[in-house]
Amino acid sequence: MNRFLSRSQLRTRATQNAAAWFSPFSISRSVHSLPFATVDAEEISGSQPAEVLNFVQGKWKGASTWNTLVDPLNGEPFIKVAEVDEIEIQPFVESLSKCPKHGLHNPFKAPERYLLYGDISAKAAHMLSLPKVSDFFSRLIQRVAPKSYQQAFGEVYVTQKFLENFSGDQVRFLARSFGVPGNHIGQQSHGFRWPYGPVAIITPFNFPLEIPVLQLMGALYMGNKPILKVDSKVSIVMEQMMRLLHYCGLPVDDVDFINSDGKTMNKLLMEANPRMTLFTGSSRVAEKLVGDLKGRIKLEDAGFDWKILGPDVQEVDYVAWVCDQDAYACSGQKCSAQSILFMHENWSSSSLISKLKDLAQRRKLEDLTIGPVLTFTTEAMLEHKNKLLKIPGSKLLFGGEPLKNHSIPSVYGALKPTAIYVPLEEILKEGNYELVTREIFGPFQIVTEYKKDQLPLVLDALERMHAHLTAAVVSNDPIFLQNVIGNTVNGTTYAGLRARTTGAPQNHWFGPAGDPRGAGIGTPEAIKLVWSCHREIIYDFGPLPKKWEIPPST
Ligand SMILES: N[C@@H](CCC=O)C(=O)O
C-alpha cells in the first residue's frame, strides 16, 4: 500500500496533481468545512457517539435496531449503527427490483451516463486529494480498523488514484466493443460489455474505504445498480463516502446502502435476487453464498498467502523489511498478508530472521503499527500458537505473547507480531497440513526452510492450498522464477528481489486465480470481468443474393 513513499511525499504529490488537474473545481469550501461529512473523526466518543444510517430509494433512513460498536482501542461504546432487520428489508428489495436486467445504462441505453460517471469520478478524486478530506478519511479508518496513519492514508490514496483513472472518457472506454466481419454482405458481429442490472456488493472490515469504493464504482461504471453492505464494524467510513459521492453528483437512485447482520442480508438477497453478487470476505461465508445464490457470485475470499525466498541471497535488510510489512502491517489483517515464508537454506545462514525480529519488535500500539485484531481473540491466537508448537521440531521465533499495557476490549485480539518455525517435512504431513495452513487474520506467520533439492516439496505444499490470492517469489534468478511461477496459480504474484505480497495499488490486478468464481479489483480488466458480461449482437441486414431460392431442408 504505497509503503514506498512517505506520507508527506504522498500528500505533496496528491496536492500537486489536484492543483494541476482540477483548478476550476471549487475547493475552498470543502477544504474548510467538509460539506459532505456528518461526523468529525476525532470527536467520536462515548459521550458523543456517531450514528450510521442506511440509504434507500434516494433517502437516508434509520432502523428500529441500533447496534452499538465499541471503540477497538478502549472498549467505549462510540458508534451506533442503524441495522435493518428482516421485517424492514422491503424498501431495499423494491429498490433493487426496479432495476431491469439490462441495467441503468448500456451501450444502447443512456450512454451519456458513461460520461456522467467520468465526471463523478473526477470530482470525487479531487475531493480525496484535498489534505483535509484525505486526513478525515484516514483518521476515520483508523478509528474503526486501527492501523497506522500511513496504512490508512494508503487506502485513501489508492482510492483517489483509482477515481482519477476513471475520469473523463475512461468509463466509456471500459464499455468498448469490437466488431468482426461476417460471412456475407450486411453481416457483422459485435461484442459488447453488458451490465447485470441489479447487483449486490458485500465487503469486509479490513479495508473500509478501498474495497467498497473500487467495487462500487466498478459496478456503477458498467451500468449496474448496486446495493452495498459493508461490515457494520467499519461501515461509518463508507457511509461518509456515500455522502461525498452524492456531493460529487452521484444520482441518489443509483446505489442503496444497507447495514444489517448476515442473516438479514441473506434474506434480502434471496428476495431481491440480484443478478450478480460480489463477496469479499471469509471462505466459509463465501461457500454458503455460492449455494444460496446458485453460483451467481464472484469471490475474493481468504488467502493463505506465501512468500518464497530463492537461492540468491541479497539485500537482506530490504527483504527483511518487506517481510515485516507483509506479515505485520495492519496487524496482519490484509487478505494479502504473508502467512508463510519459505526460506531457501542460503537465507537461514543470513541475518534475515534476526533483522525481521528487530523490525517486528519496533511495532507499537501508540502509532498503531500493531493493534487490535478484529476477528480473533488473543486466546484463540495463543491456542493456535500452542498447537503449532506441539509439532516436532517447531519453535517460536519471536512474539507469541499478548500485547501489554492496553485497553483493547477482550472481544478483540491483542498479540505481539509472531513468527513460528515449523519444519517443511512436518508441514506436509497429513495430520499437520491443515493446522499449519489455517489462516489467522492477525499478526501471525509461519516460517520454514527448504534445502536446495527440496523445491518440489515447497511446490507440493502450495499445490495443496485451497485459496490462491497473493504470492511473492523473492529472487532475481530467472530459472528459479520460471519454475515457481510455472508451477503455481496465485492471482496476484510478485516476482523478483523486491517481491511482496501486500500493498497492491489500483494499477495491479488484485484477486485470486484458479477459481472460475474469482473476482478482481482495481484495473479495467477487473472491472470488466466482475461487473459486466459479454453480449454479441450480430447485424445481418442483407441484401439477399440475387436470384436466391429456398434451398432443400437440412
Ligand atoms: N490493496 C490491498 C488489498 C485490497 C483488497 O481487495 C492489498 O494489497 O493488501
DSSP notation for 261-310: -HHHHHHHHHHH--SEEEEES-HHHHHHHHHHTTT-EEEE----EEEEE-
* pLDDT tier at 372, thresholds 50, 70, 90: very high
Residue 191 has pLDDT above 60, yes or no: yes
Is the minimum distance from the CB of 506 to ligand 1 under 6 angstroms?
no
* Residue 283 pLDDT grade (very low, low, confident, very high; cuts 50, 70, 90): confident
Query: What is the model's pTM?
Result: 0.93
Residue 15 has pLDDT above 50, yes or no: no
Q: What's at 236, amino acid-wise? A: I
What backbone phi and psi angles, to 5 degrees, belong to 373? Answer: -105, 120
Residue ranges of the alpha helices (H) in 444-547?
455-463, 478-486, 524-531
Protein residue whose Cα sits closest to atom 1 of ligand 1: 504
Q: Summarize pLDDT for 50-109 with one digit per residue, the tens.
A: 999 999 999 999 999 999 999 999 999 999 999 999 999 999 999 999 999 999 999 999
The average confidence (pLDDT) of the chain is 94
Residue 205 near ligand 1, beta carbon < 6 Å: no
Q: What's the CA-to-centroid distance between 281 and ligand 1, angstroms? A: 12
Q: Note if 335 is an active site residue.
A: yes
Query: Residue 330 Cα, ligand 1 centroid: separation in angstroms?
Result: 11
- Quick one: cell of 300? 475474493
Question: Percentage of residues in the chain with pLDDT exceeding 70?
Answer: 94
Query: What's the gap in Å between 465 CA and the centre of ligand 1?
Result: 20
* 504 Cβ closer than 6 Å to some ligand 1 atom: yes
Q: Kindly state if the Cβ of 211 falls inside 6 Å of ligand 1.
A: yes
Quote the pLDDT of residue 14. Answer: 39
Cα R_g (the chain), whole angstroms: 25
Apex 219 CA angle, 106 and 518, nearest 5: 120
504-523 confidence digits (pLDDT tens)? 999 999 999 999 999 999 99
pLDDT of residue 29: 38
pLDDT, position 33 = 82
Q: In angstroms, what CA-CA distances link 380 with 283, 326, 337, 384?
A: 19, 22, 19, 6
Nearest residue by C-alpha to atom 6 in ligand 1: 211
What is the spatial distance between Cα 109 and Cα 197, in angstroms, rounded to a whole number?
12
Percent of the chain with pLDDT over 90: 93
Binned at pLDDT 50, 70 and 90, residue 388 comes out as very high
Tell me how far the alpha carbon of residue 429 lies from the centroid of ligand 1, in angstroms: 31
pLDDT in tens, 142-159: 999 999 999 999 999 999
pLDDT at 332 over 60: yes
Told to judge if 300 belongs to the known catalytic residues of this protein, a careful annotator would answer yes
Q: Which of 151, 280, 336 gets mutated to test ligand 1 (max ligand atoms within 8 A of its CB)?
A: 336
Ligand 1 touching residue 385 (CB < 6 A): no
